């Protein structure tokens, strides 16, 4: 498997992954009916960079990296990760997170923050903690899970420098 920076043409393969995850509504705070154009904006245009993880030319996952806040907070980045349902359980999210931390340091970031992780996304929470992220905040009932109702959203943080 390899991770490389995405280009515009990769969105054709990213979109089905994004659409399926957004439609499920259980991990990301995107509209479950987000348009392809809006998804392109949030995943490909707004971030500083977007990457894909692929095997034998097939894109299995993707992540973005962007500045979390401007000005005095510009040394902290934010990332989002998505793995196709067919490729889950193969360590892709861990590989992308580790890669993103290296990229973050190369881009001059000193910390990484995940702003809104659904507490019900237990696998992701466990993985981020295993990779050195601390839960530094809890937003009570901030995420409206389609099956579990209102669950907490977590803020996770890791100092990279």
Predicted TM-score (pTM) of the model is 0.95
Q: How confident is the model at residue 50 (pLDDT cuts 50, 70, 90)?
A: very high
CATH of domain 2-159: 3.40.630.30
Q: Please check the confidence at residue 15 and state whether its pLDDT lies above 90.
A: yes
User: Whole-number mean pLDDT of the chain?
Assistant: 97
Q: Yes or no: say if 156 and 113 are a contact pair by the CB < 8 Å rule.
A: yes
Q: Please check the confidence at residue 23 and state whether its pLDDT lies above 90.
A: yes
Q: Please check the confidence at residue 161 and state whether its pLDDT lies above 90.
A: no
């Amino acid at each position: 498997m390899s991770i490389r920076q995405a280009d515009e043409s990769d969105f054709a393969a990213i979109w089905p992954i994004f659409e399926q995850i957004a439609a499920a509504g259980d991990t990301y705070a995107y509209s479950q009916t987000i348009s392809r154009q809006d998804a392109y904006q949030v995943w490909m245009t707004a971030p500083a960079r977007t990457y894909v993880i692929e095997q034998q030319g097939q894109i299995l996952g993707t992540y973005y990296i962007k500045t979390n806040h401007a000005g005095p907070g510009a040394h902290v980045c934010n990332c989002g990760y998505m793995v196709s349902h067919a490729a889950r359980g193969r360590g892709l999210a861990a590989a992308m997170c580790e890669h993103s931390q290296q990229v973050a340091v190369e881009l001059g970031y000193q910390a990484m923050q995940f702003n809104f992780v659904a507490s019900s996304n237990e696998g992701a929470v466990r993985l981020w903690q295993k990779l050195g992220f601390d839960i530094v905040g809890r937003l009570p009932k901030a995420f409206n899970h389609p099956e579990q109702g209102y669950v907490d959203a977590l803020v996770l943080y890791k100092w990279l420098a």
